[in-house]
Amino acid sequence: MMMDWTARNLWLIPVLPLLAAGLSALARRRHRRFSAGLAIGSMAVALLLACAAFATAVRHSGTELSRQVVNFRWFELGDGWVRLGWVLDPLTAMMLVMVCLVGLLIFIYSVGYMAHDENFGRFFCFLSLFASAMLGLVIANSLLLFFICWEVVGLTSYLLIGFWYHKPSAAAAAKKAFITTRIGDLAFLIGIVWLYGQAGTLLFYDAGQGCLDKPALAGLATQITSLGVVVPTAIALLIFCGAVGKSGQLPLHVWLPDAMEGPTPVSALIHAATMVAAGVFLVARVYPLMALTPAGSHSGAAALVVIAWVGALTAVFAASIAVAQTDIKRILAYSTVSQLGFMMLGLGVGGVAVGMFHLITHAFFKALLFMGAGSVIHGCHEEQDVRRMGGLRKFMPVTFATYAIGMMALSGVPIFFSGFWSKDEILHAAHAWSMSRWPFYLGVLGALMTAFYMTRQMCFVFFGKCRLALRQTPASEQGSVALPGIPAPEHPQVEHPAEPHESPALMTMPLAVLAFFTVTLGFLGTPAWPWVQSFLEGEHTALNVAGLWRPGVLLVMLISTVVAFTGIGLGYWLYGRDPLDLQQTDVLERRWPNLFTLLRRKYYVDEIYEWTFVGLNAWWATACDWLDRWVWEGAVELIAALVVGIGWVDRVLDEQVVNRWFDETCRSLSTSGGLLSRFQDGRVQKYLRVLGLALVVLVLLLIWGCRAS
């Protein structure tokens, strides 16, 4: 099997940004252009290589070369070698292009967005490091390498959320993100170790020996744990815990909205398009393991059922929270959580292609939305509360147009927007799911709410009249203080030019490019021409319009169309006709104040965690501290005092008794030496006398012995 050049040199793709990160870490702070140029240049080359890899994957689609694996030895462990490697298959190729493209656009956008930040170089260093780790994760052919990159991705996420670490809220958010995802990672690691113990390898594909190859899976399927759960299911669920943490699924979603404390390009790149999708990608990557059914069983894979339910619940849960938020980025953050739930749902009910298609389309339109939001924030002088915006349509036409495209894609407006097709795919799969209909209903509800909250946001931000000037009034300042959950503006400003303005071309150009992809990507996965699906599954496809009329397909399409338009209409009816003022309470709040408060406070999940886990932890820490301070330290102090006392006694004994005795002994030894050597006075007569004396004494000694015996 001849391997392609691109497959053999796939490692270059993550290594290039890594080099860029290393070099810009060495650069001085004022070398801004160097850092940015390096990052963007490395990303551009990586994109070219990714495109080449993609082309290779397309060329070999459906052949035995569709999966090309390069494994190498890392170090020796026990009897065997720990091996790492990379893999080029359709899944990798698609993710590579997506990450590189979105990454490149966001890098370019960041140059404009971060132009005024003094730590410009550090920002690009972190971004490059992130890109490197993310790409490494994508190409990894070993769960170990995957996990390493996964952790580096988590680290960069932490670093970038806390990029403005002088803000306490940013520092806290960074910590929260890191610790929360770490909970999932712990389970993930346990799953990895267990898998290694069972399969003996962590390579995904290794010429039939890897843990995702059929022999290993067949071996795993026969094993049952003591709890009655099949081993692969248990491992899959543990691995899924990692994905839950990283992708912000229930119940570990709490970090993602807070992560919006980071700079907006970070939110776009890491917390919308790529990193949070890593969890989805992980599930897609180990899908064979997830989909494994116990030998002899005919029911569906238990792991997939769990994934589907978690995804569906997350989708609805997060969408409902987004309805009541007022921070532009937070709305998008909950939207991201919700959409990630959709992806999980898609994976659970439909398979890799369904989930991955939504992942790709979502990456583009969510990046677009975030960057649009960034543009809005930038144009409104770091204002993030949607109630203080309004009427920006006139001031920021490009941002408005692209944002609208993103919004429609997210809402699922039919035919022309990619979000419609990918979401429709998920709903279709959920509709066809044999286990239960409920995920489908939840998905429809989620889609409805998605359309609704996006319309609400659009109305607040771009329609009506501009309320930005109101910010100057003391009343609004008080109102801002009263509003919970809204972070302080990113850069407290001294003066406020009232007029919002359009962002520079450096920021709007990437928006336009993303908008283009947002529209076009959808056509790669329509039921009439499901190219993405067949590419991932290694089949050939042809345009088949009749696919649209297959039973079920049209029904679901109609339902989602109706749902989308219902949501948009509802939103416009409530918010668009009569734009609110800042002082007015929300329309929904007037109607259902309790429910709205519940949603605005995010179902009090943070508070619940605060009272339970954090409280328990704090209580435990206090208890430990008390124990340490009073019991252990007391014991230590006591022992220390005892030792000091013994030492004192010892010293007294040493000085007064031992030393004195020793000194005395030494003195007497010396004296005796002196006496002995005085005996040696040099008189030979005496010497000879001694000789004679010795003879007599020794003879007498022996004779006396003879007599005695």
Partner 1 sequence: MGYEREAGGRGMSYLELLNLAAPEAIIALAALAVLAADMFALRELELHFRLAISAMISCVGCVAAIGWMLALPEHGNVMGGIFIVDPLGQLVKIGLLVLTLFTILISLESNFTVHAGEYFALVLLATAGMMFLVSTADVLMIFISLELTSLSLYMLTAFDKRDVQSAEAALKYFLFGSMSAAFTLFGLSLLYGLSGSTSLEQIAASIRGPRLDPLLVLALVMTVIGLGFKVAAAPFHLWAPDVYQGAPAPSAAFIASGSKVAGFFVLARVMATGFKGAEGSGAWHGYLPGWVPLLAVLAGLSMVVGNFAALVQTSVRRLLAYSAIAHAGYMLIGVLAYGGSGLASLLYYSLTYGLTTLGAFGVVAVVQQQTGGDRLSDFAGLSRRSPGLAICMMIFILSLAGIPPLAGFVGKFYMFSEVLRPGSPGMGLLWLVVLAIALSAVSLYYYLQVLKQIFVAPSPGAGTWVSVAPVTQQVVLGALALAVLLLGCFPGWLVQRLAGAMAPG
Cβ distance to partner 1 smaller for residue 169 or 672: 672
Tracing tokens 């899976």 back to the chain, one arrives at 217
Cβ distance to partner 1 smaller for residue 630 or 679: 679
Cβ distance to partner 1 smaller for residue 548 or 690: 690
Cα end-to-end distance, the chain, whole Å: 100
Q: What angle in degrees, to the nearest 10, is found between the helix axes of 275-285 and 231-246?
A: 170
Burial class (CB in 10 A: 0-12, 13-18, 19+), 640: exposed
User: Smallest distance from the beta carbon of 650 to partner 1, in angstroms?
Assistant: 22
Cβ distance to partner 1 smaller for residue 481 or 675: 675
* Site size for partner 1 (CB under 8 A): 28
DSSP code of 228? S
- CA 585 remoteness from chain centre: 36
Cβ distance to partner 1 smaller for residue 597 or 671: 671
User: Smallest distance from the beta carbon of 688 to partner 1, in angstroms?
Assistant: 5
User: Smallest distance from the beta carbon of 704 to partner 1, in angstroms?
Assistant: 8
Q: Where are the beta strands (DSSP E) in 78-128?
A: 80-88
Radius of gyration of the chain, Cα coordinates, nearest whole angstrom: 36
Of 218, 646, 657, 699, which lies in the binding site for partner 1, with binding defined by CB under 8 A? 699
DSSP code of 230? B
Tracing tokens 């907006």 back to the chain, one arrives at 264
Determine the interface stretch with partner 1 among 19-27, 139-147, 401-409, 691-699 (rule: CB under 8 A). Answer: 691-699
Q: Are 442 and 315 in contact (CB under 8 A)?
A: yes
CA gap 260, 268 in Å, rounded: 9
User: Smallest distance from the beta carbon of 656 to partner 1, in angstroms?
Assistant: 23
User: Smallest distance from the beta carbon of 708 to partner 1, in angstroms?
Assistant: 8
User: Smallest distance from the beta carbon of 673 to partner 1, in angstroms?
Assistant: 4
User: Smallest distance from the beta carbon of 286 to partner 1, in angstroms?
Assistant: 59
Q: Where are the beta strands (DSSP E) in 25-125?
A: 68-77, 80-88
Per-residue x/- marks for partner 1, 642-681, CB under 8 A? ------------------------x--xx-xxx-xx--x-
Cβ distance to partner 1 smaller for residue 179 or 669: 669
User: Smallest distance from the beta carbon of 9 to partner 1, in angstroms?
Assistant: 55
Q: Are 281 and 138 in contact (CB under 8 A)?
A: yes
Footprint on residues 218-277 left by partner 1 (CB under 8 A):
none
Per-residue x/- marks for partner 1, 141-170, CB under 8 A? ------------------------------
Cβ distance to partner 1 smaller for residue 228 or 682: 682
User: Smallest distance from the beta carbon of 652 to partner 1, in angstroms?
Assistant: 25
Could you say whether residue 497 binds partner 1 (CB under 8 A)? no
Determine the interface stretch with partner 1 among 130-138, 324-332, 556-564, 697-705 (rule: CB under 8 A). Answer: 697-705
Calculate the alpha carbon distances from 314 to 235, 248, 598, 627 in Å.
22, 9, 16, 41
CA torsion sign, 332 to 336 to 341 to 343?
Answer: positive
Cβ distance to partner 1 smaller for residue 647 or 674: 674
CA gap 417, 328 in Å, rounded: 22
Could you say whether residue 494 binds partner 1 (CB under 8 A)? no
DSSP code of 70? E
Q: Are 479 and 407 in contact (CB under 8 A)?
A: no
Q: Give φ, ψ of 88 to 5 degrees.
A: -115, 110
Cβ distance to partner 1 smaller for residue 621 or 669: 669
- Tell me which residues touch partner 1 (CB under 8 A): 666, 669-670, 672-674, 676-677, 680, 682, 684, 686-688, 690-691, 693-695, 698-699, 701-706, 709
